[in-house]
Amino acid sequence: MNTQTSGSPSPIDFLRSGRMAEVNVAILGDVVLDRYLAGSTVRVSREAPIPVVVCSGEADNLGGAGNVAMNLRGLGCRVFLAGTVGRDEAASRIRRHLEEKGVEARLFDRSVPTLTKTRLLCGGQQVARFDHETVEPLEAPAVEESLAWLKALLAVGAVVLSDYGLGFCTSELCSAVIGAARARNIPVFVDPRGRDWDKYRGATIATPNLGELAAICGPILNEDGAVVRAGEKVRRETGLEWLLVTRSARGMTLVGEGKVVHVPARPLEVYDVSGAGDTVIACLAAAVAAGFPIEEAIRFSNEAAQVVVAKTGTYPIAASDLCAASRRELVSQEAAAEICRRWKEEGQKIVFTNGCFDILHAGHIDSLERARGLGDRLIVGLNSDRSVRTLKGPGRPVNSEENRARVLAALRCVDLVVLFDEDTPAALLSELRPHVLTKGGDYQADALPGREFAGEVVILPLVAGLSTTEILRKGRIP
């Protein structure tokens, strides 16, 4: 696999820059239509002691290999997908989703219905799932056509085998795909299923969860040593270069080539793990295809998994989600503009405010929380150190722009921090064009620089007696 040189950007930086559009990934696997019936229950049926669910909404999206494709498209990659569908309405829905997202697909016909999973949700929680999943192994002609399709693709940076055990990823297909990809030095990523892992021999990496690994080697304690021993044993026996075990609340463990890496998960409230494995393998493949080392790639995929498990239903990751979740570094103005554009496309209301935020105090927090309450996303424009010196004098700022950005980014109400070097944020606002521009104090709305680039201007009240200048003068916070 390719590796980045020292000083290269992180996967998040690469994502923010929009360069994921340069990454091409091919996926072969079981394409599923995920359907959701949402409703509420207020009574018990007279026919049986079961709740009556009154459905109020219905939606669908892609699952299985289709969800891997949606995750990769959400990152901005160019995506090629091979799978099977029946001759039914579910197949039409799958094709519409793929066309809308710009996935280039080769879908073979199944003689049985399209693979479909229907989930019943009450109050946002799953209460039942109904699967239509007749297994139909891929026949020899389709295996040959899939291989020819893959070989015809140009400049693919990674291949993903998304095996849900539903017929597409036969031993013949997997062996042929791995052989063809490795002959061209293309890494192969496998989401494994079942007990026959010999068909994955020669793949670059497999990404089982703990249960899938246990299906091969027996029960495993979710403890570092036990996972490493089991993972290394299976990796050697199945001829895999790497094995990445996803361990739910314990994060991920990578084993291979004499190396062990544990990546912890952040404590959070988990709403739904549906599709999290698809997100992991998609982000892993994208990062490695972009040239990042495997250790950086798994941390990138772990961050993405943390985002999707906090959502209800199968939720493909979006670049804006990851950029907002990984705010430890300053975002460039170009990346901020792209993130803002995508948020708008998702129908989110964007609020912008700006300032020096040299010594963060309760007045700042009050203004930021009020600003966030005016919309769905809050972008904070931060004066650079040079800009602060121009505005406040040679003794300022007290804290560097990097440290000020980190403090702001740690606030729950802040979604993005972007630096500007000018005396005013007018040029930045011309790029972002938020729905709302806010400012605290006795400013006049019609006198704010850049006001013409915002939908509306809101002046927020100040907390009396609190200002950075006064704090520095007195040497204490009132």
Contact indicator for 326, 304 with CB cutoff of 8 Å: no
Nearest-angstrom CA–CA distance, 133 and 130: 10
Q: Which of 30, 278, 385, 415 is catalytic?
A: 278
Contact indicator for 407, 357 with CB cutoff of 8 Å: yes
Residues 6+ apart with CB under 8 A from 456: 435, 436, 437
Three-state SS annotation for 263-297? ECCCCCCCCCCCCHHHHHHHHHHHHHHCCCCHHHH
Q: Is the dihedral of CA 170, 175, 176, 182 positive or negative?
A: positive
Task: Assess whether 278 carries a catalytic annotation.
Answer: yes
Nearest-angstrom CA–CA distance, 329 and 167: 44
Tokens matching residue 472: 């520095």
The b/e string for 425-461 (b: 16+ C-beta within 10 A; e otherwise) is beebbebbbbbbbbbbeeeeeeebbbbebbeebbebe
**What angle, 0 to 180 degrees and rounded to 10, lies between the N-to-C axes of helices 224-238 and 210-217?**
60
Which residues are part of the catalytic machinery?
278
